Amino acid sequence: MDWYIWVIIIASIVIVVGVVPLFLVPFFICRHLYFKWFVKTYPEKFLRVCSLPSDKNQQAMWDEGMEYKKIVERYAQDVEITHDNLHLVGIYLDYGRKKTVIIIPGRAESSYYSYYFAPIYEHSSYNVLLIDPRSFGNSEGTYMSAGVLEADDILAWSKFLHEEKGQEGVLFHGICIGGATSILALSKENLPPYLLGAVVEGPFTSFRRMFELRTIQAGHKPFPTCNFLPHFFKKYPKVDIEKHSPKNSIKNVHLPLLYLQAKGDVFALWEEGKAAFDSCPSEKKEFVLFEKGWHSHIRQAETALYDKTVYDFVEKI
C-alpha cells in the first residue's frame, strides 16, 4: 500500500478518535440541557409551583404572590383560548376597567408566579391577566420557543381581551423571557390599535447569549456547547432564535416601551440591554437602571421605586 494511503488512514483515525469527540461531547451536553430546561418532557414538569424553592428570594416572591392571590380571589376568573392548536389558560383579575395588562412570566414560571407583580396594577386603570405560557403551568405544549411562538400567543390573548372582554387597550408586562416575548410581539407588522406598549424587565438580547452567560456563571466555558443551542430550537419548536432575537426585533418597536434593568443582572447585562434599547425607534420609551436587584428580582430589591416607575409610565400611556 502506498505511503500516502497510510497517511490518510492514520489521519482519519486521529480525527475520529480525537477531534470528533471534542464536538460530540458538547453537542450531547447541550442536548441534555435543552431538554432539561426548555422541554416539558413529562406532565408533572413546569407546573404552577415555585420554580426554585431552594432559593430563599425566589420562595419569598412566591409566598408574597400567593398571599396576594388570596386577597384578590373575588376578582379572579379562569380564562382560556385555543391558539396554534394548543389549549392555553390564564387567570383574569377583572376590576371593571377598560384596559388590561398581560403579565408574562419568565422561563419555568406560571400565572401563579405573576401574582407577585399584580399589586402594581391594583390601583391603576388596568385589569390584570396572568397567563400560563405554552408548555408551562396548566397550558398545553411541549416546547418553549424563547419567545418566538409565545409572541403570537400573547397577541392571541390580546385579541381575546378585546373581543371577548371588551377591553379598549392591552399592555404587556414581561419578565426575562416574558420581556423578550413582549418585544417580539410589538415588533410585528399590522398590530391592532388596541395594543398600548410594554414594560419589560431584564429581557435577554439574544437567547443564546443568555445561555452563554448562564454557562459562564456555572463555571464552564460556553464554547462550543452553547453554539449548538440554535440547532435544537430549529429542530424541535422549529424557530430561529438567532434571527428572531430581541436585539433584532426591538428595531421595529414603535409603541411605548419601559425597559427595566438591574446593574447586578449577570444573565442579561445592562450594557447590552441599553444598546438594544437605544436602537428602538419608539418616541415614547424609557430606560431605567436600578442600582439594586438582580435577574428577575428587581422589584424584590427596590419594591417602592419599581412600583412607582411602572405605575407612572403605564398611566401616561
Q: Are residues 291 and 144 in the same domain?
A: yes
**Is residue 107 one of the residues assigned to a domain?**
yes
Q: Are residues 32 and 57 in the same domain?
A: no
CA distances from 135 to 45, 108, 129, 210, 274 (A): 9, 9, 18, 20, 30
Q: Are residues 201 and 295 in the same domain?
A: yes
**Is residue 85 one of the residues assigned to a domain?**
yes
Distance, CA of 300 to CA of 263 (rounded, Å): 14
> What's residue 17's pLDDT?
46
Residues in Cβ contact with 80 at an 8 Å cutoff, skipping those fewer than 6 apart: 87, 88, 89, 90
Helices (H) and strands (E) in the chain, counts: 12, 8
Q: Backbone phi, then psi, for 315, in 5-degree steps? A: -75, -25
Q: Are residues 228 and 86 in the same domain?
A: no
**Is residue 211 one of the residues assigned to a domain?**
no
**Is residue 43 one of the residues assigned to a domain?**
no
On the question of pLDDT at 15 being above 60, the answer is no
**Is residue 213 one of the residues assigned to a domain?**
no
Please report which confidence band the pLDDT of residue 208 belongs to, taking 50, 70 and 90 as the band edges. Answer: very high
C-alpha cell at 5: 494511503
Q: Are residues 20 and 125 in the same domain?
A: no
Q: Are residues 108 and 1 in the same domain?
A: no
Q: Are residues 17 and 68 in the same domain?
A: no
Q: How many CB atoms lie within 10 A of CB 231?
A: 13
Q: Are residues 281 and 247 in the same domain?
A: yes
Q: Are residues 77 and 106 in the same domain?
A: yes
Name the residue among 159, 140, 258, 268 with its Cα closest to residue 203. 268
Q: How many folded domains does the chain comprise?
A: 2
pTM for the predicted model, two decimal places: 0.93
What average pLDDT does range 95-110 have in this prediction? 97
Tell me which residue range forms the domain holding 70.
52-206+242-316
Distance, CA of 173 to CA of 115 (rounded, Å): 12
**Domain CATH number, residue 135:** 3.40.50.1820
Average pLDDT, whole number, for the chain?
Answer: 93
Q: Are residues 33 and 93 in the same domain?
A: no
Element (H, E) at 285: strand 285-290
Please report which confidence band the pLDDT of residue 206 belongs to, taking 50, 70 and 90 as the band edges. Answer: very high
Q: Are residues 223 and 91 in the same domain?
A: no
Whether the upstream peptide bond of residue 230 has omega within 30° of 0, thus cis, is no
- The more confident residue out of 13 and 216 is 216
What average pLDDT does range 26-53 have in this prediction? 94
- Please state, for a pLDDT cut of 90, what percent of the chain lies above it: 86
What average pLDDT does range 291-317 have in this prediction? 97
In the Cβ-directed half-sphere of 164, how many Cα atoms lie within 13 Å? Answer: 11
**Is residue 147 one of the residues assigned to a domain?**
yes
CA-based torsion, 291, 292, 296, 300: positive or negative: negative
**DSSP 8-state secondary structure symbol assigned to residue 143:** B
Strands 86-93 and 126-131: antiparallel
Lowest-confidence pick of 14-28, 107-121, 181-195 = 14-28
On the question of pLDDT at 6 being above 80, the answer is no
> What's residue 41's pLDDT?
96
**Is residue 312 one of the residues assigned to a domain?**
yes
> What's residue 156's pLDDT?
98
- Please state, for a pLDDT cut of 70, what percent of the chain lies above it: 93
Q: Are residues 32 and 167 in the same domain?
A: no
> What's residue 22's pLDDT?
57
**Is residue 47 one of the residues assigned to a domain?**
no
Please report which confidence band the pLDDT of residue 223 belongs to, taking 50, 70 and 90 as the band edges. Answer: confident
What average pLDDT does range 80-90 have in this prediction? 98
**Rg from Cα positions in the chain:** 21
In the beta sheet, which residues pair with residue 129? 92, 102
Distance, CA of 302 to CA of 187 (rounded, Å): 30
Lowest-confidence pick of 206-215, 220-229, 232-241 = 220-229
Element (H, E) at 114: helix 111-114
